[in-house]
Amino acid sequence: MDAPHLIAYADRLGGSLQALTGLLRGPLDGVFGGVHVLPFFRPYDGADAGFDPEDHTEPDPRLGSWADVGELARTHTVMTDVIVNHMSVRAGAFQDVIARGDDSPYRGMFLTLGSVFPDGATEAELAAIYRPRPGLPFTTMILGGRPRLVWTTFTPEQVDLDVRDPGTWEYLTGIIDRLTGAGVTMLRLDAVGYVGKQAGTTCFMTDGTHAFIRRLRAYANEHGARVLLEMHGHYRQQLDLAPTVDLVYDFALPPLVLHALHARDARPLARWLAVRPPNLVTVLDTHDGIGIVDVGASALLPGEPGLLAPDQIHALVEAVHDASGGASRLATGTAAGNLDLYQVNCTFYDALGGDDRRYLLARLIQLFLPGIPQIYYVGLLAGRNDVELLRRTGVGRDVNRHHYAPGEAEQELGRPVVRAQLAAIRLRAHHPAFQGSFEHECSGTTIALRWRHGSTSAALHVDVGDLSHRLTWEAEGAVDGTDDVLTLADRGDRWRA
């Protein structure tokens, strides 16, 4: 089983690829077996924090080089993004299309309304298109002197790719060649659900999407890389998708854990644990917001209830807003730019009111579940909402994307809640029980998670009703445990690599 992974921007944690490597080999030695380095391509500081690359085949020289990526990969599993749905409007290929229109050799790489609806689209067809933001996914642009409706699923700064085009396939496989050549062995397909646009469908997770995923996964596997799919949607879509791919996210877990701790109700989490697939990457927080669509009903599957009922979702969102002192309300929905209707923008620590005990219990639940645990850098440091950054940029998700100045991260690592969390991550990374079999029992307000391997075991018992809990582990005939997760900070040294 994979050791826990860190999720981090190179520029916001350390300032460069070399500095990030130094953190992982220095203060974080023995904590993480891998790292998801969020986009470090040129430019890393564009309109969408690197997810709108102008050149996806080269690191931004301000952050480092391919040699730096290779050096990091020498000691840690490295995952990076393959941004399959779009590229920057400023990318050279699209700029050529702007200048030359249909005469550009790159014209077929980019989608317009006519690419999918050559005979025009009806009102019903346009209304059926699934998009994570309000309005239609088109931006009027002048291509070769002609106004065209260019497909822009996310923002006008990100133009969508036509994955049916041979030029797009060459572009994407060239990225994979570059990444795997530098030692990257895990690839995250960003926004992959939107790539298979087809007339007469929602243009989300279509037959064309599945065909593309199979093709790209085969290519990546041939080059020594596993593929992780990033897709927000109804939880049954994750269940259907999981058997066909290497890895999928457990995006249902964060809101279900928050519901359990805020509503003092573990029953929805129990329903999910009974059906969740085995090939998951578990998260509580990421560079995006806390997903709500992943536990609710969805227009994509009419009539299928979610893991939480509408009134439970409403109560959860309001509980997070209250716990964060209203900061999450400033960063979510119509209150902030880069609009995400299906996410609440908030650090996970603030989503639990900055309560150390509840936060550590949430992290332990994640760490005790099967899958590859990934811990976001702000969550690792129990970070608070960066309202000042939100005010400067107007981008809702920036509230959870703090820039840690040189030395700031090392200082935060000394906080008791962070030290306790590091000890919990080391326990997951190094205790032999987590290489064995898993079992769970959940009902009402109680959660019991247990691992066994040979003569070793590790168990977590939590009652979300009163936050009573017990964490125990056994190795080499000795039983140890704690009645208060905060005391984990005093036990972490024994789980250093």
pLDDT exceeds 90 at position 495: no
Cα angle 362, 368, 374 (rounded to 5 degrees) comes to 75
Partners of 288 in the beta sheet?
A: none
pLDDT digits (tens, 9 = 90+) for 80-89: 999 999 999 9
Please name the residues in contact with 135: beta carbons below 8 A apart, sequence gap of 6 or more: none
Closest among 209, 195, 196, 232 to 306, alpha carbons compared: 232
- pLDDT band of residue 496 (cuts 50, 70, 90) is very low
Q: Is the peptide bond before 43 cis (omega within 30 degrees of 0)?
A: yes
Supply the pLDDT for residue 489: 74
Supply the pLDDT for residue 300: 83
Q: Which residue has the tokens 């017990």?
A: 470
- Give CA–CA dist 194/333, Å, rounded: 21
Across residues 176-204, what is the average pLDDT? 96
pLDDT exceeds 80 at position 376: yes
Closest among 141, 165, 160 to 86, alpha carbons compared: 160
Look up residue 32 and give its two tokens. 């993480």
Partners of 475 in the beta sheet?
A: 478
**Which of 162, 190, 386, 398 is the catalytic position?**
190
Q: Which residue has the tokens 């691992």?
A: 451
pLDDT exceeds 90 at position 490: no
Supply the pLDDT for residue 491: 60
Q: Which residue has the tokens 């247990």?
A: 450
Residue 251 CA to chain centroid, in angstroms? 8
pLDDT exceeds 50 at position 298: yes
Q: Are 368 and 451 in contact (CB under 8 A)?
A: yes
Supply the pLDDT for residue 494: 55
**How many other CB atoms are there within 10 angstroms of residue 309's CB atom?**
14
What mean pLDDT value characterizes the chain? 93
Residue 433 CA to chain centroid, in angstroms? 27
Supply the pLDDT for residue 207: 95
Catalytic site includes residue 125: no
- pLDDT band of residue 478 (cuts 50, 70, 90) is low
Closest among 292, 293, 294 to 280, alpha carbons compared: 294
Please name the residues in contact with 491: beta carbons below 8 A apart, sequence gap of 6 or more: 423, 480, 482
Q: Are 297 and 304 in contact (CB under 8 A)?
A: yes
Across residues 224-245, what is the average pLDDT? 93
Supply the pLDDT for residue 335: 55
pLDDT exceeds 90 at position 97: yes
Q: Are 473 and 480 in contact (CB under 8 A)?
A: yes
Using a pLDDT cut of 70, give the percent of the chain over it: 95
Supply the pLDDT for residue 293: 87
pLDDT digits (tens, 9 = 90+) for 386-445: 999 999 999 999 999 999 988 899 999 999 999 999 999 999 999 999 999 999 999 899
Across residues 139-160, what is the average pLDDT? 97
Using a pLDDT cut of 90, give the percent of the chain over it: 84
- Give CA–CA dist 175/183, Å, rounded: 13
Supply the pLDDT for residue 336: 46
Partners of 42 in the beta sheet?
A: 55
**Long-range Cβ contacts of 227-231 (<8 Å, 24+ apart):** 227/186, 227/187, 227/188, 227/189, 228/79, 228/186, 228/187, 228/188, 228/189, 228/281, 229/189, 229/192, 230/188, 230/189, 230/190, 230/191, 230/192, 231/192, 231/193, 231/205
Q: Whole-angstrom distance between the N-terminal and C-terminal Cα of the chain? A: 16
Catalytic site includes residue 222: no
- pLDDT band of residue 497 (cuts 50, 70, 90) is very low
Supply the pLDDT for residue 146: 97
Partners of 212 in the beta sheet?
A: none
Look up residue 243 and give its two tokens. 């058997």
Buried b (16+ CB within 10 A) or exposed e, 397-422: bbbbbbebeeeebeebbeeebbbbbb
**Which of 230, 288, 340, 386 is the catalytic position?**
230
pLDDT exceeds 80 at position 337: no
pLDDT digits (tens, 9 = 90+) for 32-73: 999 999 999 999 998 889 999 999 999 999 999 999 999 999
Look up residue 361 and give its two tokens. 């219990």
Q: How far is CA 102 from CA 93, 158, 159, in A?
A: 13, 20, 16
